[in-house]
Amino acid sequence: MLWTDVAPRDGLQNVKSTIPTEAKIRLVRGLLDAGVPRVEATAFVSPRWVPQLADAAAVIDGVRDALTKLRVLIPNARGLELALEHGVRNVLVTIAATDSFNRRNVNRSVAESLADLERIVDSARAVRCVVDVALSVSFGCPFEGRVEPDGVIQLCSELAARGVDEISLADTIGVATPASVKNLVVRSARVVPLGRLALHVHDTRGLGVANVIAAYEAGVRRFDGSVGGVGGCPFAPRSTGNVCSEDALQALAPLGATTDIDLADMCRVAEVLAGDLGVDLPGKLYRAGVWDAVPVADTLEIEAG
Amino acid sequence: MLWTDVAPRDGLQNVKSTIPTEAKIRLVRGLLDAGVPRVEATAFVSPRWVPQLADAAAVIDGVRDALTKLRVLIPNARGLELALEHGVRNVLVTIAATDSFNRRNVNRSVAESLADLERIVDSARAVRCVVDVALSVSFGCPFEGRVEPDGVIQLCSELAARGVDEISLADTIGVATPASVKNLVVRSARVVPLGRLALHVHDTRGLGVANVIAAYEAGVRRFDGSVGGVGGCPFAPRSTGNVCSEDALQALAPLGATTDIDLADMCRVAEVLAGDLGVDLPGKLYRAGVWDAVPVADTLEIEAG
């Protein structure tokens, strides 16, 4: 299983207060030390659009020794150039499943984004840089409402044909359910090898973990999540983040999903991040503690004595 | 499917500030009006132990017209007497899966609780009152740690033999995972008809909804949950409540679980309860809004003018 923690990018990008670069580097390093195989460390986007990630180059420089485990978001060919200049060899491009969302997001039609993508893949391939694509609003769009699976499957085919490495079904606004996840995964798997499919969900309506489990049971082995479930704007109580990595991982492990990720370490990373942001994060495991069947009462007595 | 909302009892019992009886009656009525088939309205327990539920009789009196849809918790034969006096015809007794927890909870061994239960069932049967039992700490105990399924299955057999109507596998401290839920359900179903098995989970570690889905897929059709996910102590940020009814129900419906429960109504009940308690509740759907595939942007434009 390939778990990607996107907290440093998707998790932090909408935080209004400026987070010190050192805190971001500590976060990326904490995730890697906890055994996370891949971390989405930042984005090479215009600071005008995402001021929080204006220090992308400094973050990458701070974890240069772990470059092979990092992915960064890029919006266009210029982003790829910057990423490559800084030694990154795995980039993520987002393309929406609907024209309305794509235009709002990157000011282009989906067809134009696909044409851009072809150039990005060509440039990346020349330097053996892996290109992943997230299909945002694959389960529902705030502007167009219901998104028909047929269109998403068609896009999956086109991305596979263009040599994209990982194709991520992204539930950007958190409207997927286990049933719709299974349905879309099963259908996508007819046009993309299951090993290249990923699921990226937000916990907007409380179904994040259930949706990850549904996709896992349908054969998906690549997932995004964020430590502590950070995301949205942690200072706006009603906005929501990515599915919480450690919450989901505790459920996946007993189902046979093997990773090197240490849940207690992840909880400590969440705790530090909560401290850095000065707020409680949505994730639950880091607050309750990892259950390892050691009686809580014993633990308390040991601690108390 | 039989969904029981336990917010008025399990959800509120640990709230420290006194909640007005009228607010509790409004909560029970709101749940019934939203289409919830059964509501755990209160408990006939000593006010010394649970001061929040000292107004049990007044709450029942306030929703007397809906008596057939109410269940109350009772700790012993005296509780049954009070419940029957007030016209209740469905009671819940909790018995722990471990001796340590049972002694802390009701100051008796499990064997003593089973003997008490026999008397309760006899008295109840005489007036056609339904007796349900929740097996607390079925998935893990704060005092004994791991709870072996064998012991839980044995208890299920004994309860079934004693004529208990519903047997609820209760994850009191929130340590179950979809894998352990499926395992325990499949094994319990060998000694208890699936139609009489229930699942009662807490969202302590973020797996509440995923655990409900796992049990549903294993054939369970009776569940407890609380509107807004209220529970634990809402004023202690790190304590946690029951799985949120409406969050779970939105995932169950597309899997074929039919109920008469209106999710938008449930969200309004959660909103009112949050107002009555003066805090945000853990549930997510009531904050995000029910997704009905109507473009969010359209909705916003309509609202804006």
Mean pLDDT value of segment B190-218 = 97
What's the CATH architecture for A2-299? Answer: Alpha-Beta Barrel (3.20)
pLDDT at B292: 83
The burial class, CB within 10 Å (0-12 / 13-18 / 19+), for B17 is exposed
Q: State how far the Cα of B62 lies from the Cα of B82, in Å rounded to an integer.
A: 16
A-proximal residues of B, 193-252, CB under 8 Å: 203-207, 209-210, 213-214, 229, 237-238, 240, 244, 247, 250-251
Residue B172 amino acid letter:
T
Is some CB atom of chain B closer than 8 A to the CB atom of A42? no
Q: Which of B214, B210, B292 is nearest to B244 (CA)?
A: B210
Q: Taking the CA atoms of chain B, what radius of gyration do you get in angstroms?
A: 19
Which residues of chain A neighbour B142 with C-beta distances below 8 Å? 295-297
CB within 8 A of B161, min separation 6: which ones?
A: none
Which residues of chain A neighbour B302 with C-beta distances below 8 Å? none
Share of chain A above pLDDT 70, in %: 94
The token pair that represents A129 in the structure block? 């840089």
Q: What is the pLDDT of residues B235-268, one digit of tens each?
A: 555 568 999 999 999 999 999 998 999 999 999 9
pLDDT at B294: 65
Q: 3-state class of B93 per DSSP?
A: strand
Tell which wins on pLDDT, A303 or B119.
B119
What ipTM does this complex have?
0.94
Is A179–B251 a contact, with Cβ atoms under 8 angstroms apart?
yes
Is A296–B143 a contact, with Cβ atoms under 8 angstroms apart?
yes
The burial class, CB within 10 Å (0-12 / 13-18 / 19+), for B150 is exposed
The token pair that represents B219 in the structure block? 């054939």
B114-119, long-range: CB < 8 A, 24+ apart: B114/B158, B114/B162, B116/B76, B116/B77, B117/B93, B117/B159, B117/B162, B117/B164, B118/B162, B119/B77
Strands (E), chain B: 2-5, 38-43, 70-73, 90-96, 130-136, 167-171, 197-201, 222-225
The beta-carbon neighbor of B254 closest among A142, A177, A293 is: A177
The burial class, CB within 10 Å (0-12 / 13-18 / 19+), for B157 is middle
Residue B10 amino acid letter:
D
The token pair that represents A253 in the structure block? 């492990």
Q: What is the crossing angle of helices B149-161 and B110-126, to 10°?
A: 30
- Catalytic, A233? Answer yes
The beta-carbon neighbor of A180 closest among B203, B247, B254 is: B254
- A92 forms bridges with which residues in the sheet? A73, A132
Mean pLDDT value of segment A166-172 = 97
pLDDT at B303: 35
Q: What is the crossing angle of helices B178-188 and B208-217, to 10°?
A: 40
The alpha carbon of residue A79 is apart from the nearest alpha carbon of chain B, in Å, by 29
Which residues of chain B neighbour A210 with C-beta distances below 8 Å? 209-210, 213, 251
The token pair that represents B93 in the structure block? 């007794």
pLDDT at B297: 55
Which residues of chain A neighbour B140 with C-beta distances below 8 Å? 291, 293
* Residue B295 predicted with pLDDT over 90: no
Structural domain boundaries in chain B: 2-299
Residue A299's pLDDT band (cuts 50, 70, 90): very low
B-proximal residues of A, 58-77, CB under 8 Å: none
* Residue A303 predicted with pLDDT over 60: no
Mean pLDDT value of segment A110-116 = 97
C-alpha distance across the termini of chain B, in Å: 41
The catalytic residue among B141, B233, B244, B267 is B233
Q: What is the pLDDT of residues A3-20, one digit of tens each?
A: 999 999 999 998 888 999
* Residue B304 predicted with pLDDT over 90: no
The residue with tokens 């779970």 is B248
Q: What is the pLDDT of residues A20-32, one digit of tens each?
A: 999 999 999 999 9
